[in-house]
Structure 1
């Protein structure tokens, strides 16, 4: 357990404060969410951000729809302002990721956070993705941006070829992960009608799992690369393959942990691939056997590892219904060959 303390403040105008504060009339918030109040620019964005993080489902839905409908010509000058809060840029980026007119000034704004860039790198396409790739090449201290593009199925081969040399070794990735330290705000914590809406300071003991829920991608990668067994158990299950893969690059990972990953039928293709690339791991008999039985082990490698299996394991494999038929057939052939040699 660790203690964490954080105070985050998002400055708003008095007009915005009266709308988003707890206890504000619902009809006022509904009109604000529809874009029906005389709000413009950053005031409108800030209001929509707070309302989209509230508990009222209708208001949240309307706020999101209004953000998606703001004309690009009106929104672009707002996200170009270098004094805008990074959380507002992230809010816009997630809603308008395919709009290059908006995304170009947003992505080149010095206030944009690494976490936002990683999100766009993971989910963008076309001209937006090309722009992020250009930014990734200019930010070698943030390798997670380039890594996210390489993992994006929408990225074309030309973009990936430009970025592959930019991915550093695990050791340097660990250092680079320090770059993303931008905290997130909870929009529904507006407390009064002052010009500065605080998210009250929290000082609580959090489990590692709870801490993980609050982390950005780069923070997760750093902890996966350096953390203890409890952290590794959390991040090996992370949906982001950059995070889960980093666990296997942690110098403290044990062969027992690797074996558990190899035995887990839900382990991703990338995790299995990384295990097969480490000679010290595949020297272990139990790991080789687990890889033979894993559905995501490439067939050529599984067939090769079968050559090390005991006769007992081959017999079990020859009767198995949970593996590829090619492996069953090969096990039967190997047993037949063994019987011939005995005869």
Structure 2
């Protein structure tokens, strides 16, 4: 049966139902006609259908629906959703790899499926899975999963609990722990109470050598940024002209930070801190900036526009449904010569015709993409020419 345009538009404009109490996500990710299956106000049989995975949902959407239903007011729905998730049907496992699935959903599934290596691997490799959940699994996971966790350098530096728990995992090999701890020590992680980190410090710096100066901490730099912003009041004509000197000093101080502290600052810091760190030459640091939960659309737009941006940062932006929902970000990406042609072609199909015309004439757009925009316009106009 086909849906009439008016009915389709009516469904799309329906408000997103409120989530069950305590649930950290809402049903916005679901197709509008499927939101009734997680709506607390819907009849229980509708919710039970989703709890049994009997509704036609994409894998990523099914994961979110099952998670939401574990907060349902009906105990039967809650228990059924948990059982379905714990025995996750293979047809839904691809959703565990999807970076656009909400972090709380992935964290919950990792806790639930941690004993199944095939699923745990997908989840620890998914950059959206919360570090806290990965750290918890690192405590007792299999050797294979421990190896995968230890190879993720950004996580290791972003969350010290991962190193700490790997070091207590009886399944983690000595070679893995040596490599992880050596890398952590070189990057500025202290871990003074972890025996393996103490041993790594001796290996890296020698038994007598003092470790290098750790540099400023993320907390210290954040406080200094707050002090600068507090005195940076353009409306105050009598403010002392030391603003630029302070900013220069902050730049120099950030350059002296360890990689681990820069990543902490990138993750938890303010907009001013991120504007410094996104230009860092270390890929782990600028990646931590773009993955910061505090980053704004304006900052992402600035990165998408920047032709010198790190390619991994750009990949994270164009792979994110959340970021590319913003039309301005999508347009900026299309003008960035580093955007892969295959991604650009996909984005072109979502643009307004006037914007496609502009791109086909814009000399700032890469020639290959410009050519595709022209072909799209020619194809659209072909039927009109035939009619004439």
* TM-score, structure 2 as length reference: 0.39
Higher strand share: 1
